[in-house]
Structure 1
Amino acid sequence: MSFFYNTVEITERFLTWRERRKYKIKLKAKNKWKKRNTLVKKILGIIREIVEVVLIVLVINQYILQAYTIPSTSMVDTLLVRDRLIVDKFTLGPELLPTVGKLPALREIKRGEIIVFENPSYVSPGVLFEIVYRFLYMITLGQLDINRNPDGSPKAVLLVKRAVGVPGDILHFVNGDLYFFIPWEGVDIAEKELLKDNPFFRGNPSRRIFDKDYYELLHKSIRYVFLNRAGIYSSVEDRLAVVKLQNIMENLYEKKLPHEDSYTSSLLGYYMNIALYPSEKQYLSYYMDVTGGIYVPPNKILPLGDNRDNSHDGRFFGPVDNKNILGVVIFRFWPPARVGSVE
């Protein structure tokens, strides 16, 4: 009996080996495809997760919070170069798309808040470039900046300053010191006095590089330069002032301190140009603006850097429209030693 069963089994194996072989090949191919399909699914799943994360980051950055890196010394000592900040965009009304439209703000900007806004002096290459540039900047949390000058330095597309002048203010400067004109009293009040109770100005955040002696030398030096240029004899005192000023600037270079007193230099330069070339209307116009004070119209803010002697700010380009203000700085997350709220 056993011999019979063995014979039948051997015969079946012999007759079906080809079919069994085909089945094994088919099963092996099926398992191989299944494995490959599983790998493809895993890769697609990872890609989908990455896309979802990128979209979430973009939505958060565009409408709620955005990372920003400090590029210059204009806000020293409050903010240092390469400080990394979190900016609240939702409160002041985020843009619908980069550079396109703006949602309504939840509240008005408070005097003393540190704001991020579009640089009025910046010339955009075009809307498409701006969208790509902002997209890359946002998803890399401010680490990738493709919008650069020919020398490789990043363009100043966005600026960070303190909202000092609010609608209705009239401000003017004397040797870099800020004064507010109070129309109903007919007097000027110094910044320190007017803002001493403002919580954002706790500790007097505005920083000065130069003292009164420096401004005296600067006045005399610029007078010497412009009189010399016009072929007019200048005093020995003015010529000595130039030498002293050069020594001060050399010391600043050696100590690697911020030294570009761009605001005061340009202002006094305009004064000298008015005296020497009174027919040039642009000099007279600027002079009238400065001596009459800077008026802040409705729906605008005058931003100033805390590092007053070394800041390109509203003193150059005037008040900034609320629609160009992107957000308020609320937190510093880098470097670790300086993590915390920003005032």
Structure 2
Amino acid sequence: MLVVAFNLVFGVVRPFVAEPMRVPSKSMAPTLQPKDRMLTNKLAYDLTNPDRGDLVVFKGVEKKGKGERLVKRVVGLPGDVVHVDRGVLKVNGEPQNEPYLSKDDRGGGEGRDGARRKAPPGVNSFGPMFVPEDHVFVLGDNRANSHDSRYFGPVPTENLIGEPSLRFWPLNRLGTP
């Protein structure tokens, strides 16, 4: 019975249904923290495409990190034009509501000490960039510390693995991301 269960989990569930993942960096903070562990729903995009605002897990597209599992937020869909203007994300010219960003990630602002902060390059401005067919444009929630589509371009939809469905570690953060 144990052998059958083992074969089901590692022969069917992990490759086709759900796979654990450890968040490798702080690029998605505050939504996901480094070393958070979560399950990736690998069936999420078998019948549908991601929507703007979805978190996606995908295989890296750069030679250096090809095949590496990354997690980012979809901000642009095929046919969209993505642009960051003075810290404000615009899609097809329309400013986007991004409640998951901290004030520091919205292009600068004041720090906790009251001093004016200058946002890092690439946070205050970017683009415009057209998202081609069968691609999505992804950004990290922690824009100042995220290597994302601003650097490696739109992600082919064939690279999408699934969506984060359940954070299971640490226990005090148990739940959906």
**TM-score normalised by the shorter chain: which range applies?**
0.7 to 0.9
For 1:310, the equivalent position in structure 2 comes to: 145
- Letter of the 1:56 partner, please give it: L
User: Root-mean-square deviation (CA), in Å?
Assistant: 2.5
- What one-letter code is carried by the residue in structure 2 that aligns with 1:69? R
Higher relative contact order (CA 8 A, sep 6+): 2
Q: Contact 2:84–2:123 at 8 Å: present in 1 too?
A: no
Residues 276-310 of structure 1, C-alpha deviations (whole Å, 9 max, x = no match)? xxxxxxxxxxxxxx55x111112111111111121
* Counterpart mapping for 1:1-343 below 5 A: 49-50=2-3, 52-58=4-10, 59-92=12-45, 105-123=46-64, 157-181=68-92, 188-192=93-97, 204-209=99-104, 210-211=108-109, 213-215=116-118, 261=120, 263-264=122-123, 290-291=126-127, 293-342=128-177
In 2 relative to 1, CA 72–264 (structure 1 residues): closer, same or farther, beyond 3 Å?
same
SS at match of 2:30: coil
Q: Does the aligned pair in 2 maintain the 1:64–1:90 contact within 8 Å?
A: yes
Q: Which residues of structure 2 form unaligned runs of 5+?
A: 111-115
Deviation at 1:106, TM superposition (A): 0.9
- The one-letter amino acid paired with 1:305 is G
Percent of paired sites with the same residue: 31
1:124-167 alpha-carbon deviations (Å, 9 max, x no partner): 79xxxx8xxxxxxxxxxxxxxxxxxxxxxxxxx11100111111
Stretches of structure 1 lacking an aligned partner (at least 5 in a row): 1-47, 93-104, 131-156, 182-187, 193-200, 219-260, 268-289
TM score, norm. by length of structure 2:
0.83
The amino acid of 1:74's aligned partner reads S
The structure that has the greater radius of gyration is 1
Higher percent of residues as helix: 1
